[in-house]
Amino acid sequence: MTLKTSEISAIILAGGIGTRMGRKNKGLLIFNGKPLIEHVLEKLHDQVSNIVISCNEDLDQYRRFNYPIAIDDFNLDTNNTNSETDDKQNNKEGIGPLAGLLSAGRKITTPYCFITACDMPFLPRTIVLDLANALGDKDAISVKTSKGTEPLASLIRTSSLLSIEAHLKTNRRSVVSWLATLSWITLESELKQQFRNLNHPEDLH
């Protein structure tokens, strides 16, 4: 399967609460002289036709990168106290990355979309094309390294994002649990260091 750059957009998730970073806005933390998200933007700029940043705070700082911004606009029924969630997050701290993907997906006009996170500054400059070449007739494909599957290094059919809302209403919130409902495959990669997340303050030095 050969896809053109014009057929692919990207969503960068930057709406997390950054618990392991001291509850700081991770995408704006400085790494090697510039914000973490700027590293990701630079890696993806030539691989996709457009990028949407999913964020919920510090909107003006994210807008200065001159990409569309998407704010979470999905709310679960917080009165349903008998339900269990697969990531055990409290609603008041956000529903999680799937809400960001759902909201950002409404701004995507291309048939395919690469999804990733703002804390992955080492992404390969060919990752989107590599996934596109291996997607075939599937709905989604994710990188898999010796450390496991990387759900936030995935290429998906944009139409598949529509199923997130129904999935969230089942009170399952992880990206993996949603991907598992799709026609989903993985692509093996030996470049595990390039898919590393910077999760702790010491990772920035």
**pLDDT tens digit string along 178-196?**
999 999 999 999 999 999 9
What pLDDT does 25 receive? 85
5-204 CATH? 3.90.550.10
What pLDDT does 73 receive? 81
What is the spatial distance between Cα 90 and Cα 85, in angstroms, rounded to a whole number?
9
Q: What is the reported pTM?
A: 0.88
What is the spatial distance between Cα 49 and Cα 139, in angstroms, rounded to a whole number?
20
Q: 84-121, pLDDT tens digit by residue? A: 344 333 333 568 899 999 999 999 999 999 999 999 99
Mean pLDDT estimate for the chain: 87
What is the spatial distance between Cα 116 and Cα 16, in angstroms, rounded to a whole number?
13
Give one DSSP letter per residue of 73-96, joined into a string: -----TT-TT---TT---GGG---
Query: What would the mean pLDDT of 145-166 be, rounded to a whole number?
Result: 96
